[in-house]
Structure 1
């Protein structure tokens, strides 16, 4: 299986995609700076769970079906934009008071999960990119797609975890800044910027 796969091309493609600044990278860094490493790692787990659902949908053919319906894809696209704007408003209104650490971690997981379930870019990745490396002569297409998708998921999780660990080092030196108005404005502005970036992208593009 996958005997004819261009491994160098595939690994290069997913590395470039994951190392290119985007919504997950910016959000994880800002979240970790603001709420700490545990919240950031919880968000990484949420992102991985959301991507896993996208992968399972692709393997079963559901993602291809959704991608063929422009209205559904467009709806997912704008739902993702709206969710980023919600996070921006929530960040601006959150003064940092109250809330147990477990609640923060649960919230980070939930947000990471939702953001990636609503991420048309992830949907497009599994439908459009992975399909380029699948060869029906190498075995069941669904199994090849699953293996390639899991490799992408591992690379993405390593990159996201690295972002959190790097940002947490900065956060330790900026503890008092994290709950200040400046931090909340910065975090909210970053999320609004991500929402605008997503809005300017074509759905699934």
Structure 2
């Protein structure tokens, strides 16, 4: 597996984790309203959920890639279309107003419960499963080691960087609020997301595996 592919994957993953979306906005809100420990616990659950989607994508897609070039081509085009769809939907996203009450109540929920909550949020989201099916294959090398192991490695890398990003968001939650509520910030991040998803879709469309 080429180092360049891993670096490209890590760069794309970091951009996708940093750009505001349902998961990191939820972590941010929970961290501010209920404490950073809550945010960190939920972040861990979300990251663990990534591994489930990785396992599903790795076991299914690896068989398809190895056994049927035509089937993989169909999945490739569907995956590219889905990434373009996500880019289009990002254009229609509206700014999220993060409003917080002054008398914030620190909710000391059980850590295990919060991890489970984040885990189920991720695992039960079919959009995440579709995204991984579209995202992972373009960073797989046929000349490398076992394709299933490559996908598991990429999934672990994605989970680790996502947890790191969400962990930082939890720690810096109070300082990030002003940026999330800034119109200029939302315009920049919206077009960044459109650019990243469109680039991934085009890369997958043009890939020759």
Structure 2-normalised TM-score? 0.61
Q: Is the 8 A contact 2:77 2:205 kept in 1?
A: yes
Of 86, 91, 98, the residue aligned with 2:89 is 86
Q: Following TM superposition, by how much is the alpha carbon of 1:26 offset from its aligned partner in structure 2, in angstroms?
A: 1.4
| Structure 1: gaps spanning 5 or more residues | 1-9, 135-143
| Structure 2: gaps spanning 5 or more residues | 29-38, 101-113
Change (3 A) 1:81 1:170: farther
Q: Is the 8 A contact 2:97 2:181 kept in 1?
A: yes
- Runs of 4+ in structure 1 displaced over 6 angstroms? none
Q: Is the 8 A contact 2:98 2:177 kept in 1?
A: no
Change (3 A) 1:199 1:124: closer
Q: Is the 8 A contact 2:47 2:162 kept in 1?
A: yes
Counting matched residue pairs gives 175
Q: How does 1:94-133 map to 2 (within 5 A)?
A: 94-96=96-98, 106=121, 110=125, 111-119=127-135, 122-126=136-140, 129=141, 131-133=142-144
Q: How does 1:62-81 map to 2 (within 5 A)?
A: 62-64=64-66, 67-69=69-71, 70-81=73-84
Of 175, 198, 202, the residue aligned with 1:196 is 198
Q: Is the 8 A contact 1:81 1:195 kept in 2?
A: yes
Identify the range of structure 1 (74-83 vs 191-200) with the bigger mean alpha-carbon deviation. 191-200
